[in-house]
Structure 1
């Protein structure tokens, strides 16, 4: 897939996530994908994201750094949000948190087939406790 097409496809995918239009994921996600080495159906993947949104109603996926090459996308997603129930295994305190997710995707036939995701859980925990704040870079 051409660089411009892959980038625009990925940004359209984020728009679907931010619009909570999970029924449209079939345009962007393979029927089965591998998420951090676990095989999921597209529905299981959608349910996982929907559960995050339920726990964090103001969750928005903002691409701060984005690079594409071949069939790969690398992105630093930025989040400013306020969890309302257990998130990343942490109990919310009512405090807003800011954190990054570093995520890599492999596309097959124009759709996401593999996802590798890393979230700085310790940064979120320190903000819940009031001992830290993360600034976007």
Structure 2
């Protein structure tokens, strides 16, 4: 990689994905969440939701199934996948997201710097994603920081 600071401000190609009831159920099963609101429209409505809501980490599904795959993103950012560490993940929900919503995602690199340590350098790269629904409402934001060891 040349200079990690060159990534700062990079805007990735936007993408979108339909939030499918089946994907919500798959994630709920995978994380062991048996809350009926993720499996049944009736249970969700009884709990006060308009539809089947997404579990809190569902934005990761949107990113990996609707956007760039891990390998593709590593190539785009010119990073070696075997030298990547997951540093931090953050989600901010501004509104409910339901099965049937179409989310459009815009991504931008908001941090790109290097820190030196006793064993060499590490690049810290933070990507911010903004998720807008089919009505043009900003419904969520996420940030992910990856650490790339030199």
Give the TM-score band, short-chain normalised: 0.3 to 0.5
Structure with more helix by fraction: 1
For normalisation by structure 2, the TM-score amounts to 0.30
Q: Which has the higher contact order (CA 8 A, sep 6+)?
A: 2
Structure possessing the higher radius of gyration over alpha carbons: 2
